[in-house]
A and B are shown apart, each in its own frame.
Chain A
């Protein structure tokens, strides 16, 4: 077993809370954050979403930004989550501190707002012209926290945040960075809501992950970040947990759909175990991707069956709390996995009543106290991207 990479800070904002503590309280009390859109200016007011109930204006105020700032909503959410992680870790920010953020659509909320203005040649909001590009949002967050060194963005749809965590861990291991802040951010946009709606994979009810009667996902928004530090930089600092393993593969099956046997997912989990140098029997809990689409949940269940055989560990999807926060999902769920490790509690898969006929698998449906040493977290996305991460308690 390797020693993994130390995590010394975490921060989160989601539909169930604007910091780690409030997220924990919602998870512990099974309180979902799914509601109807109030701040997102969409005509689809009937579609449930995991919306964070703060306007851009109040988010900007809490960050003390000037009136003419050019932060996209994803940058606002990201900056808040990063600030919490930095407060906790007190990490040194210098030339050897990096920032890697995952985002799928970056600042397309700004682009969709101003697109018509721009096509008419109006320049009043031209500071948002580059907002469509994911790196723009990342740079705003980097500026906010004063990082001028290595800054990069991963955009692999719904696995972006998980891939950012993986890349950060690899860079620490390779000695390329001493400290790195990793995670992801995505906000609700008309672009993504309508995109998933056009694919007919949004549910009009609260999502039913891993349930026989699941009929689609709820879109969400959020941001979460972890601070990773090389061991020689720790100087006795408390360690929240360690990234032990990671696996990234491609399903190479279809642009948007997962293969029925979940081969990509299986290979990603297998690779993560290999990097962690542990056997599958060591995994105590899986925070599943579990979006509640027909396709994902079956494919992921099959992959679990292939990897774990008859002894599938406790698993649950937390998507019914937050909605599917796309690029941020892997980062949010990394924070939830770390909370689970610290509290020794598994948080439930809400709204579940009936196992899928194809697999008969039953997720954890109530808060469960349990000895947890190793947690596997899955994130899969469009383009066949599959990523699995393994988190461990520091002393494990």
Chain B
């Protein structure tokens, strides 16, 4: 029999604080940064100075998740990042262009590779185990989760896998999103995102890490039931695709108690979510989160984090609610995300 996979540790660094979830921070910019924890609690000051925000957020967030489960050395470190170490990439690229390829310092090049975050976490822990980084746009964290699930299912040995997603802002490259219609053309208030009927979205950064294990414990947040990634889905087929996924996981749509949607206020692509809201999941609580933390490639980490908290506490924060439906019980949550109509992902969780 297929062993069960549990989420035993979670952590989040985002543009919102985890303490004041009913009273979210309002931003009036289409690009807003994540709130930094006190990195010194997690990283030695000497090392800290050289690190970009992605590395700092990644190491800190991974340590919170590891500490929560008292895991010293995980059996695997699997990272997702859509855009990698963008700050160092940008720095090296600018120097290269400005200095006409002469007298370049290697520091930012060394830290620019997409696997720097996963590598630095391994280095920091002294962890020689399996280590992979996925970089598939908005399915980066999901690819990492799928690999983590495989890691746990392909052996009978009890394992704990550290899996997470990180993306950072950078001064120029993030701004380029304004040029190709990824961002809204004028600054909006993030909390008004659902009122918008315009193209583009708002963006931010963050890090979310999780400990997945085949062992349930007192701290377990949720059971990780399954995940699916599909690169493209025809708009009219979204309900059918979700049903295929649910069937594979032996559950029907009526048994889903809440759906966590990646709606981002982009009126060119939010129809994927609206189709589900008006059809398959019409009568159940529909939740959104990108008005709080923006949209970026690994933002679904915030969705997974929130779903874990909802399942453990049995309570849905009102700030996430997109409709007035209340759940009879909170046993199964489905998370659905896509970006620009591509890299669709579904994650199914259930209460433990």
Q: Do A and B bind each other?
A: yes
The reply to whether A152 and B143 contact each other, CB–CB distance below 8 Å, is: yes
**Complex Cα gap A147–B129 (Å):** 32
Contacts of A308 in B (CB 8 A): none
- B297 to A, closest residue via Cβ: A133
The reply to whether A150 and B101 contact each other, CB–CB distance below 8 Å, is: no
The reply to whether B105 and A111 contact each other, CB–CB distance below 8 Å, is: no
A385's partner among B89, B115, B172 (CB-CB below 8 A) is: B115
Contacts of B110 in A (CB 8 A): 199, 255-256, 382
**Complex Cα gap A267–B297 (Å):** 32
Q: A382 and B119 in contact (CB under 8 A), knowing A133-B137, A151-B229, A199-B110?
A: yes
A104's partner among B93, B94, B114, B232 (CB-CB below 8 A) is: B114
Tell me if A57 is interfacial: C-beta within 8 Å of chain B.
no
A118's partner among B109, B112, B172 (CB-CB below 8 A) is: B172
The reply to whether A194 and B150 contact each other, CB–CB distance below 8 Å, is: no
Q: A199 and B106 in contact (CB under 8 A), knowing A119-B172, A382-B119?
A: yes
The reply to whether B136 and A384 contact each other, CB–CB distance below 8 Å, is: no
The reply to whether A129 and B231 contact each other, CB–CB distance below 8 Å, is: no
**Complex Cα gap A271–B232 (Å):** 35
The reply to whether B180 and A152 contact each other, CB–CB distance below 8 Å, is: no
Q: A249 and B150 in contact (CB under 8 A), knowing A382-B113, A385-B119?
A: no
- A130 to B, closest residue via Cβ: B180
Q: Tell me the residues in window 191-227 of chain A with beta carbons closer than 8 Å to chain B beta carbons.
A: 191, 194-195, 197-199
Identify the interface centre among A42, A152, A254: most chain B CB within 10 Å of its CB.
A152
Tell me if B123 is interfacial: C-beta within 8 Å of chain A.
yes
The reply to whether B180 and A134 contact each other, CB–CB distance below 8 Å, is: no
**Complex Cα gap A148–B228 (Å):** 13
Tell me if B126 is interfacial: C-beta within 8 Å of chain A.
yes
Q: Tell me the residues in window 174-213 of chain B with beta carbons closer than 8 Å to chain A beta carbons.
A: 176-177, 179-180, 182
The reply to whether A115 and B93 contact each other, CB–CB distance below 8 Å, is: yes
Tell me if B173 is interfacial: C-beta within 8 Å of chain A.
yes
B119's partner among A130, A151, A267, A383 (CB-CB below 8 A) is: A383
Contacts of B130 in A (CB 8 A): 248-250
Q: Give the contact stretch, choosing among B77-85, B299-307, B313-321.
A: B77-85
The reply to whether B128 and A133 contact each other, CB–CB distance below 8 Å, is: no
**Complex Cα gap A155–B117 (Å):** 11
Tell me if A157 is interfacial: C-beta within 8 Å of chain B.
yes
Q: A147 and B106 in contact (CB under 8 A), knowing A167-B147, A250-B127?
A: no
- B105 to A, closest residue via Cβ: A198
Q: A142 and B172 in contact (CB under 8 A), knowing A112-B97, A152-B139, A263-B128?
A: no
**Complex Cα gap A230–B125 (Å):** 37
Tell me if B337 is interfacial: C-beta within 8 Å of chain A.
no
The reply to whether A253 and B123 contact each other, CB–CB distance below 8 Å, is: yes
The reply to whether B114 and A118 contact each other, CB–CB distance below 8 Å, is: no
**Complex Cα gap A170–B155 (Å):** 12
Tell me if B286 is interfacial: C-beta within 8 Å of chain A.
no
CB distance from B335 to the nearest CB of A (A): 17
A198's partner among B106, B135, B173, B179 (CB-CB below 8 A) is: B106
Tell me if A371 is interfacial: C-beta within 8 Å of chain B.
no
The reply to whether B101 and A194 contact each other, CB–CB distance below 8 Å, is: yes
Tell me if B100 is interfacial: C-beta within 8 Å of chain A.
yes
Q: Tell me the residues in window 221-254 of chain B with beta carbons closer than 8 Å to chain A beta carbons.
A: 229-233
Contacts of B126 in A (CB 8 A): 252
- A255 to B, closest residue via Cβ: B110
CB distance from A132 to the nearest CB of B (A): 7
The reply to whether A194 and B173 contact each other, CB–CB distance below 8 Å, is: no
The reply to whether B116 and A135 contact each other, CB–CB distance below 8 Å, is: no
The reply to whether B153 and A174 contact each other, CB–CB distance below 8 Å, is: yes
Tell me if A62 is interfacial: C-beta within 8 Å of chain B.
no
The reply to whether B230 and A111 contact each other, CB–CB distance below 8 Å, is: no
Tell me if B275 is interfacial: C-beta within 8 Å of chain A.
no
Identify the interface centre among B118, B132, B233: most chain A CB within 10 Å of its CB.
B132
The reply to whether A194 and B104 contact each other, CB–CB distance below 8 Å, is: yes
**Complex Cα gap A332–B262 (Å):** 38
The reply to whether B128 and A249 contact each other, CB–CB distance below 8 Å, is: yes
The reply to whether B150 and A176 contact each other, CB–CB distance below 8 Å, is: yes
A250's partner among B113, B131, B342 (CB-CB below 8 A) is: B131
The reply to whether B133 and A156 contact each other, CB–CB distance below 8 Å, is: yes
Tell me if A44 is interfacial: C-beta within 8 Å of chain B.
yes
The reply to whether B137 and A135 contact each other, CB–CB distance below 8 Å, is: yes
The reply to whether B132 and A134 contact each other, CB–CB distance below 8 Å, is: no
**Complex Cα gap A198–B110 (Å):** 10
CB distance from A170 to the nearest CB of B (A): 6
Tell me if A72 is interfacial: C-beta within 8 Å of chain B.
no
Contacts of A108 in B (CB 8 A): 89, 93
Tell me if B257 is interfacial: C-beta within 8 Å of chain A.
no
**Complex Cα gap A385–B117 (Å):** 12
Tell me if A144 is interfacial: C-beta within 8 Å of chain B.
no
Contacts of B71 in A (CB 8 A): none
Q: A42 and B128 in contact (CB under 8 A), knowing A119-B172, A194-B96, A382-B110?
A: no
- A195 to B, closest residue via Cβ: B109
Identify the interface centre among A122, A157, A194: most chain B CB within 10 Å of its CB.
A194
Contacts of B179 in A (CB 8 A): 118, 121-123, 126, 129
**Complex Cα gap A199–B136 (Å):** 28
The reply to whether A43 and B100 contact each other, CB–CB distance below 8 Å, is: yes
Tell me if B330 is interfacial: C-beta within 8 Å of chain A.
no
Tell me if A394 is interfacial: C-beta within 8 Å of chain B.
no
The reply to whether A142 and B231 contact each other, CB–CB distance below 8 Å, is: yes
The reply to whether B123 and A154 contact each other, CB–CB distance below 8 Å, is: no
Contacts of A195 in B (CB 8 A): 92, 104, 106, 109, 112
Tell me if B22 is interfacial: C-beta within 8 Å of chain A.
no
Tell me if B154 is interfacial: C-beta within 8 Å of chain A.
yes
Tell me if B168 is interfacial: C-beta within 8 Å of chain A.
no
Tell me if B134 is interfacial: C-beta within 8 Å of chain A.
yes
The reply to whether B147 and A383 contact each other, CB–CB distance below 8 Å, is: no
CB distance from B304 to the nearest CB of A (A): 18
Tell me if B140 is interfacial: C-beta within 8 Å of chain A.
yes
Tell me if A53 is interfacial: C-beta within 8 Å of chain B.
no
**Complex Cα gap A363–B250 (Å):** 55
The reply to whether A153 and B172 contact each other, CB–CB distance below 8 Å, is: no
- A197 to B, closest residue via Cβ: B104
Q: B interface vs A, CB < 8 Å?
A: 77, 82-84, 86, 89, 92-94, 96-97, 100-102, 104-106, 109-116, 118-120, 122-123, 125-137, 139-140, 143, 146-147, 150, 153-154, 172-173, 176-177, 179-180, 182, 229-233, 297, 342-343
Q: List 14 A-B contacts (CB under 8 A).
A: A126-B179, A132-B89, A135-B82, A142-B231, A150-B230, A153-B134, A155-B133, A156-B114, A163-B132, A191-B93, A250-B127, A251-B128, A381-B113, A382-B119
